[in-house]
Structure 1
Amino acid sequence: MVLRTFGWSFGVTAAGLVFAAYFWGWTGFAVVAILSILEISLSFDNAVVNAGILRKMNAFWQKIFLTIGIMIAVFGMRLVFPVVIVAVSAEMGPIEAVRLAMKDPTRYEQLVTNAHPSIAAFGGMFLLMIFLNFIFDEREHKWLGWIERPLSKLGSINGLSVCVALIILLTTATTLATTAHQYGGVHVDKTSTVLLSGIAGLITYLIVGGLSGHFEDKLEEEEEREHEAEEAAKRSGKQPTALGVAGKAAFFLFLYLEVLDASFSFDGVIGAFAITNQIFWMALGLGIGAMYVRSLTVYLVRQGTLDDYVFLEHGAHYAIGALAAILLITIKWEIHEVITGLIGVSLIALSFWSSVRHNRAVVSHGGGGEGNSPAKSQVTSGV
């Protein structure tokens, strides 16, 4: 079962790492491996949410999501999107950006480094909003209760996440951006660039979150109609269908899943800029990670159960918060990419271990403890 589901992912991983080591040496190998792990870690809850929605759909729409959907996720968001970010930031065409990266990597590195303040501000604000909306949300399970309990109470204040994000952006622009790091160790004033890029990142998050909310509302409406139809069938003595959601409902589910997946891939793609500016390393590492997200989604659907480690989502979002902070700090100071990657991986590992201890405690108390059994705990996207 595991080999059949993850076989393609294992094959892509082996080929990708060998390719990285052959062409870019052990540094490229290490960075691609870290990006792969980071993408898998940040997208674990994405796979869980996808599986929970995907199992409601009929076989046809499941195949659509797992074929067309993965093409959009891997080739669209992980390969094309980084090229677009670099091209826009460096003010050149996408083809020219790729050609420059291949023929004149030194000049390409200079352009990307000089554009880093705008990339960091855009990505930092997008990631920061994901983290803030998670930390201000009231949740059944709390990993670091001494932090999460008071902040979840403050979350009832409308617009608090946006307000905090704007304060952080203003502080960053008036402090770090006044002496932004540029190629060759030069420092220049990038205050206006950081402000505009940060606001663009905030707007992008609000648009993606708004679309997700719109499709989620559509999904709830369709589920309510489906429930009413089932009740009517029972009253009339007919057996309600169990074929899975199809038609318009499945189409809305598909759209919702694509917007949701795009919002999750934003944090992976944008967060990758905190680790490396090498576009080919980024595309290869994120592509490998995206394959595992797809395989994990398929595995959860085929198993018919969602193995729930209740604090993994917390670890992923704390990793997102750490990446947001690192991106904003790197506007002025350089931080080694290995340190950045290890911070995220360490947070995921700690949250996983906390989840294992929690599950053991629940078992030792005969299924009691905080909330229901671990397998029934609600997992949300945080977007």
Structure 2
Amino acid sequence: MFLRTFGWSFAITIAGLIAAGLIWGAEGFGVVLILSILEISLSFDNAVVNATVLKRMNAFWQKLFLTVGVLIAVFGMRLVFPLLVVGLTAHLSPGTVIELALDSSKTHDGHTYAEYLDLANPAIAAFGGIFLLMIFLDFIFEEKDFNWLRWLEKPLEKIGKLDALSSVVALVVLALSSRFFAGDRAETVLLAGICGLATYLAVNGLSEVFESGLEQQQEAEDAAERSGKSIVQVGGKAAFFLFIYLEVLDASFSFDGVVGAFAISQDIFQITLGLGIGAMYIRSLTVFLVRKGTLDDYVYLEHGAHYAIGALALILLASIKYHIPEIVTGLIGVAFIGAALATSIVRNKRHQEVPEAAEG
């Protein structure tokens, strides 16, 4: 199953690195390899969160996530989207943006493509930061079957019963970010953050509307389990909006990687290839986690991933004013995932020892 799930990722890695070596030489090969590793390290928590959503979708939509979803992730979010952002924020024509992107030394009004993208960072960071913050807040405020940091999560679950608390907290954080981080870009940050909040509420709300009809389907699942049949998974409109939700989530995770990649290379094709290879592994890892039932076996992994998302959200908002090295972002995510995995393993061992002691 491992090779079947990661086969395309391995094949594209080999083909991509060979192409990089032939086109750009040894230096280009190294740059693409580094960018691939950067994307994987920054987005491991993305795979865990994706898996919590993907497991609710049927086989058709899971396959769509690995095919069409990859095309959207690689070409849409890591190539077309940055061009679109630069054009909108700098008020440049599509032709000018493409010319700047194709020639890293070319300037327009004294700025290169990379510099324009850096100037667009406040809007990008505010949108992605608030979107990711909403994911974290909705998770931390909801009642959960298992608590990882019980001393923190239990009190937050109690106050989380207040309606729209996540949105209120997100708006307060956005207001503070625009006040202390944005400077003369406060209006831009506020608008982008509100758009991020609206996008989350719209996509998440629509998926919940269509999933509301799944209560009957859940009863069917329970009946199927009792009769030994396979579990029913969601499809149709509900799966479509979950798919859209996953794509927006991926976009939010990719923002820091796309912007940070220009510190490594100014060539948009090297960046797209390197980040695209990394995105393939994140997609494959997501499917692997679903098929292996890893989230069910290691119950705190989802918690660790959401804490990493919360940290990334705050880092994105802080990056409106401060430069934060991508290695810091990656290490924080890995630290949360690693701690969650370790405590899950300890929990599983304890649960195994209790029945053995009872039998003894």
1:41 aligns with 2:45: yes
Q: What are the Cα deviations for residues 268-301 of structure 1, in whole angstroms up to 9, with x where unaligned?
A: 2234357445665664454334423443455467
Is 2:195 the partner of 1:200? yes
Q: Is the 8 A contact 1:36 1:289 kept in 2?
A: yes
Deviation at 1:138, TM superposition (A): 1.3
Matched residue, 2:182: 177
Q: Distance in 1 between matches of 2:199 and 2:207?
A: 12
TM-score under structure 2 normalisation?
A: 0.80
State how far apart, in whole Å, the 1-side matches of 2:75 and 2:289 are: 23
Structure 2 CA distance for aligned equivalents of residues 96 and 161 of structure 1: 40
Give the 3-state SS of the residue equivalent to 1:53 in structure 2.
coil
Contact 1:129–1:162 (Cα < 8 Å) also in 2: yes
1:316 aligns with 2:305: yes
1:272 equivalenced with 2:257 (yes/no): yes
**Mean Cα deviation higher: 80-89 or 117-126:** 80-89
Residue 166 (structure 1) shift? 1.0
Deviation at 1:107, TM superposition (A): 0.9
Equivalent residues of 1:100, 1:108 under 8 A apart: yes
Q: Secondary structure at the match of 2:202?
A: helix
Matched residue SS, 1:100: helix
- Give the secondary-structure state (helix, strand or coil) at the position aligned to 2:299: coil
* Equivalent pair of 1:120/1:273 in contact (CA under 8 Å): no
**Relative to structure 1, is the Cα distance of residues 25 and 296 closer, same or farther in structure 2, using a 3 angstrom cutoff?**
closer
Supply the AA of the counterpart residue of 1:173: S
**Which string of whole-angstrom CA distances, capped at 9 and with x for unpartnered residues, describes residues 162-201 of structure 1?**
11111111111112212xxxxxxxxxx2121111111111
- After the TM superposition, which of the residue ranges 108-117 and 253-262 deviates more from structure 2? 253-262
Q: Where does the alignment leave 5 or more consecutive residues of structure 2 unmatched?
A: 106-110
**CA, structure 1 residues 149+302, in 2 after alignment: closer, same or farther (shift >3 Å)?**
closer
Give the deviation of 1:14 after TM superposition: 4.0
Shift of 1:214: 2.2
| Aligned partner of 2:327 among 338, 341, 344 | 338
* Contact map agreement 2:39 2:278 (CA 8 A) in 1: yes
Q: What is the alpha-carbon root mean square deviation over aligned residues?
A: 3.5
Contact 1:125 1:324 in 2 (8 A): yes
Query: Which residue in 2 is equivalent to 1:217?
Result: 212
Q: Which runs of 5+ in 1 are unaligned?
A: 179-188, 231-238, 369-383
Deviation of 1:26 (Å): 4.8
- Superposed CA offset, 1:90-137 (max 9, x none): 333455434312303561122112221111111111111111111111
Structure 2: how far apart are the matches of 1:147 and 1:241? Answer: 39
TM-score, structure 1 as length reference: 0.76
Please tell me whether the aligned partners of residues 257 and 326 of structure 2 are also in contact (alpha carbons under 8 angstroms): no
1:199/1:301 CA distance change after superposition, 3 Å: closer
Q: Which residue of 1 aligns with 2:11?
A: 11
Taking the TM superposition and a 5 Å limit, the aligned residue runs for 1:10-89 are 10-16=10-16, 19=20, 22-24=26-28, 26=30, 29-54=33-58, 66-89=66-89
Name the count of aligned residue pairs.
343
